[in-house]
Amino acid sequence: MTDYIIAIHGGAGTILRSGMTPEKEKLYLKALEDALESGYSILSAGGSALDAVVGATVALEDCPLFNAGRGSVFTHDGCHEMDASIMDGKSLKAGAVTGISNVKNPILLSKCIMENSEHVLLSGHGAEEFARKMNCEFESDAYFFSQFRYDQLLEIRETGAVKLDHSEKKFGTVGAVARDVHGHIAASTSTGGMTNKRYGRIGDSPVIGAGTYANDKTCAVSCTGHGEFFLRAVVAYDISCLMEYKGLSLAEACDLVVNKKLMQVGGEGGLIAVDASANCALVFNSEGMYRAWKDGDGNGEVSIYKG
């Protein structure tokens, strides 16, 4: 049996082969492979699950293809408001940020909050002030600008609607989960939110227990989907609870929550998860999910579509 494993996601939704050019598909697969390797190399060298999920998530945040970090979508006001969270299954410590701008890697700031403050969740200008104190890297608005993303905003800006990432229905959150050789697990999630979002809207990604959760006793989970439904269902924690209190396996718990509980209330999306025994689950009820996994024996897969 493998003693370490990592899984990543780059968003879920209506992702169809018919709507993807071969060139674009190659770009996504390469980006997923690179992010996976960023985390896997840490695990294979004996590093911690916490460092591995951070490494993978930073790589996804730095890639403009995904709705997190550099690739974040625009709000109604034409700016970026990013969210992220991280949790350490060993200590049950967590850190999260919401509504921040110009911080290059929100996941690194989340880790700083977890390790260097008595808080879990910081928001907006206060979080940015703490980021400066921690010497986190900032970037100009130009770094986060993408004509493709800006055109998405212009399409619907006056309609009052929000759009879930790309022009097709897609939830562009990114995240990672891992189990290391020491038996510890961790989870991280990062997102740019919804195109044309207003009023300081916050989804599930920065909320511990909803979009992210990790506990060495059970599992580590990172979610991607319509955040309002994942918040109501407390998805990540629910999976842990089903394992701890009902004795369900990781696969059983993920299937119950994603394909039954969420669908009953109209929630679309998916999640990635690993458990304390280095089992892995990548489950979604949408047409596709950008995803990848790899274990200590070299087994793994990089996928986009259903089936």
**DSSP label at residue 174:** E
Q: What token pair was written down for 275? A: 């458990």
CB 271 within 8 A of CB 210: no
> Rounded to whole angstroms, how far apart are CA atoms 68 and 213?
19
Q: Could you tell me which of 153, 136, 133, 66 has the C-alpha nearest to residue 101? A: 136
Q: Is there a contact between 82 and 191 (Cβ–Cβ < 8 Å)?
A: yes
Residue type, 216: D
* Span between the terminal Cα atoms of the chain, in Å: 25
Radius of gyration for the alpha carbons in the chain, expressed in angstroms and rounded: 17
Q: Taking Cα atoms as reference points, which of 66, 76, 58, 67 lies closest to residue 192?
A: 67
How far apart CA 125 and CA 101 sit, in angstroms, is 8
Question: Which of the following is catalytic: 173, 191, 218, 224?
Answer: 173
In whole angstroms, give the CA distance from residue 38 to residue 187.
15
Annotation says 224 is catalytic: no
Give Cα 76 distance to the centre of its chain. Answer: 22
Strand partners, 209: none
Q: What residues are paired with 293 via a beta bridge? A: 7, 301
Taking the C-alpha atoms of residue 232 and residue 99, their distance in angstroms, rounded to an integer, is 20
Residues catalogued as catalytic: 173
